[in-house]
Structure 1
Amino acid sequence: MRAHVEVACWLLLSTLGQIHPVAAGCSGRCCRGRDSSCSATDWRTDRVYGKCYCDEDCVKTKDCCFDYFTECPARDCAVSNWSFWSGCAKPCQPSVRVRVRHIQQRPGNGGEPCPGLEEKAGCREYRDHHGGHCEHHSGPAFITSMEFSKGRPKHDGYGNLLDPGFCVEFKLESRTPHCTAENRPHTLWMRYITEGFKVCVACEPPAKRNTSGSCQGDGQESDEEAVLHWQAVGNPQCRGTWKKVQKTQTCTCPTQHRFVFT
């Protein structure tokens, strides 16, 4: 009797095995993109038994094999660090500099997509293509964000600043609506230029004039009540006026209200 029971059990298991064979799943068959041949016959993630897929597109079509997310985990995009900023595109006038980064691993299986690979920022060079100093002309003060400044001032071997700069505080009198009209990454800092607020603008090399200790447009030669003009580098339509409050050794304004003469 026992022998008959064992035979019956074996036949039952064999029959079930023919109906639902040993799990195949996605082990060893993960595919990129959409691939109709990247499939198996097994349980799907929606608990239906039948043809299931192991390509990246199965996440959208909702017909992945049951073990897809275990065997084929999502791969987020990985990028390199930013390169150094390039030089300004044009010398002796407001222009644009660029920095880039590169994809080290492309996203897969529903992983996070790659971020932007290029950033642009306003800048202004003070030397021409031949290395000569650009001529200074009267006009508005050109400013940019601290984030896009040329970098830290140089120090000597004893920790002292070489040709140290200074800071000028202004009260913003007016600005054009164009300062908030754009959403490009290198123009977002302009949203913090708000009428009535006090802002701090650092004067650092190379914008600092070594001979006079001033920056173009810093108001050193103007009287206390003079209304001065400024323009944001990177968006020439973002401009306005301000009044000089005082000159200080360092900038004490909140970070979002700190800018740099350029």
Structure 2
Amino acid sequence: MGLLSVEQNVLLFVTALFGIYHYSEGGCSGRCCQGTDLTCFTTDWRMDRVYGTCYCDERCVKTKDCCFDYPTECPAQPCLVSEWSGWSGCAQPCQPSFLVRRRSIKREPRNSGQACPKLEEQAGCMEYQNHHGQFCAQTQGAAFITTMEYSKGRVHDLYGAPLDAGFCIEFKMESLTPQCMVENQPYTRWMQYLREGYTVCVACQPPAMSNHSRSCQGDGNLSKRDELLHWQAVGSLRCRGTWRKVQRLEHCSCPQVHSFVFI
């Protein structure tokens, strides 16, 4: 076989160059697919500079076999959500419940964009006045507690006092129902950190603090030393138990997962 002429070599070079350009032009143009789609592929250069079968579905980002132009042809679009709605009202005065606020998805994430954040938040709530404007004045009975994270929805301006104008009570946990360990809703997972024998801190702050007695319901202010006291977790009627008062402090010093608030 004879040597190729200069003209033939030039022709082959141009043909090869055109072929590379042709394949490169293919890529993911018009081929962006959601999720895992095994039919969403072509033959072109991959992002790892290997020529062959490449994909244009969202999964290719994880499997590292995207076509070279996936990032530009299929740009990631994060989830877009609306603003939070206003907090809902407490269920009824003088009874612990939850406030709820929600937001909605305005646009689903595309092309491996950032996933949607949580769409609902809950917060511990208790109206300390009845419908006639009278204070509930509940000083006896079980202590209603919630985690610090879900205390932000409490009505805190009835007394015109800042939230830190209170005190802290340390309790030793004596008993709790088994249901506390299996609570798995976003607003009840904190109950899984309750353990027998552990010391917990519970803050007494306005407006849960009585304006007259300067105490919170169930804080053991009037109880005898070593008296067994009862508590109830807000958000689950099945999670409750007993504890004994250890001491009163100016500020809580327990780990965050063992720090709660009277409500």
Regarding TM over 0.5, the answer is: yes
Report the CA distance between 1:76 and its aligned residue.
4.3
**8 Å Cα contact 2:139-2:216 kept in structure 1:** no
CA distance in 2, matches of 1:191, 1:41: 52
**Bigger Cα displacement from structure 2, 166-175 vs 118-127:** 118-127
**Bigger Cα displacement from structure 2, 41-50 vs 173-182:** 41-50
CA distance in 2, matches of 1:41, 1:237: 59
Distance 1:104 1:223, change over 3 A: same
Report the CA distance between 1:81 and its aligned residue.
7.9
* 3-state SS, counterpart of residue 197 of structure 2: coil
Q: Does 1:251 align with 2:252?
A: yes
Q: Does 1:227 align with 2:228?
A: yes
**Bigger Cα displacement from structure 2, 70-79 vs 35-44:** 35-44
Q: How does 1:45-64 map to 2 (within 5 A)?
A: 47=50, 49=52, 54-56=56-58, 64=66
**Bigger Cα displacement from structure 2, 178-187 vs 41-50:** 41-50
**8 Å Cα contact 2:163-2:206 kept in structure 1:** no
Could you say what the CA RMSD is over the residues aligned between the two structures, in angstroms? 3.9
Kindly provide the amino acid, as one letter, of the partner of residue 12 in structure 1.
Answer: L
**8 Å Cα contact 2:32-2:73 kept in structure 1:** no
Structure 2 gap segments, 5+ residues each:
none
CA distance in 2, matches of 1:150, 1:120: 9
CA distance in 1, matches of 2:215, 2:32: 62
Report the CA distance between 1:95 and its aligned residue.
1.4
Report the CA distance between 1:41 and its aligned residue.
6.0
Kindly provide the amino acid, as one letter, of the partner of residue 96 in structure 1.
Answer: F
Report the counterpart of residue 180 of structure 2 in structure 1: 179
Report the counterpart of residue 99 of structure 1 in structure 2: 101
Distance 1:10 1:143, change over 3 A: same
Normalising by the residue count of structure 2, what TM-score does the alignment of the two structures yield?
0.76
Report the CA distance between 1:42 and its aligned residue.
3.3
Matched pairs, number:
255
Report the counterpart of residue 124 of structure 1 in structure 2: 126
Distance 1:12 1:118, change over 3 A: same
Kindly provide the amino acid, as one letter, of the partner of residue 92 in structure 2.
Answer: K
Distance 1:81 1:59, change over 3 A: same
Deviation by residue 1:110-145 (Cα, 9 ceiling, x = unmatched): 234223211224432223355443363742110011
Structure 1 gap segments, 5+ residues each:
155-159
CA distance in 1, matches of 2:204, 2:62: 54
CA distance in 1, matches of 2:178, 2:254: 23
